[in-house]
Structure 1
Amino acid sequence: MVSRRRVRGILTALGLYVVAGALISYFGFHAFNGQRGLHARHQIDLQMTELTADLERLKAERVQWERRVALLRPDRIDPDMLDEQARILLNLAHPNDLVMMVKPR
């Protein structure tokens, strides 16, 4: 009888340690690999860095386009910009222009 109680006590303690270890492993695994874990946080930081760089590039492109559009406003048209746009749209060249035909790569 005494040995059964001792074995039962050892098995009970061992079972509690196994359950506690399983719970710690489960929560530790999900803390690293879960939807909001450390790995996901690193991926979000990388994505945020890429999107920030893309945003800066798009802001610079927008400023450039705003400058070009401002040159075509009716109240202050830039003659060079008007000439460039007309030649592009009408596919024309000035008689004094040198036109070079280049094969596409």
Structure 2
Amino acid sequence: MPKIYKICSASAWHEAEREGVFRGSADDARDGFIHFSSAAQVAETARKHFFGERGLFLIEVDADALGERLRWERSRNDELFPHLYGELDLDAVRAVLNLRARADGTHDIPELAP
């Protein structure tokens, strides 16, 4: 099962757990889809969009469980990124990992399954 990853604030994730669905961040709402990254893209996404932020989770999702609402589209550096058009059903979530911030503003990225 291919995996994709979403970085989000702990508060946003706790809200999703209460509601039973993740609707995305303000940036996701603005763009009309929920932004995800492949395992190989997570570190750069964290550096570019979350540098220095604390209280983050890395959400591991079963890409196959998202069906046709998941599209791989060109984005940063002309790479294909996974975009979910619609809400994330929490049944597709395989793990919620703590994304620890380092003193230099970067994050400890765990070893991820592709």
Shorter chain as denominator, the TM-score bin is under 0.3
TM-score by length of 1: 0.17
Higher strand share: 2
TM-score by length of 2: 0.17
Where relative contact order (Cα < 8 A, 6+ residues apart) is larger, the structure is: 2
Higher helix share: 1
Larger Cα-atom Rg: 1
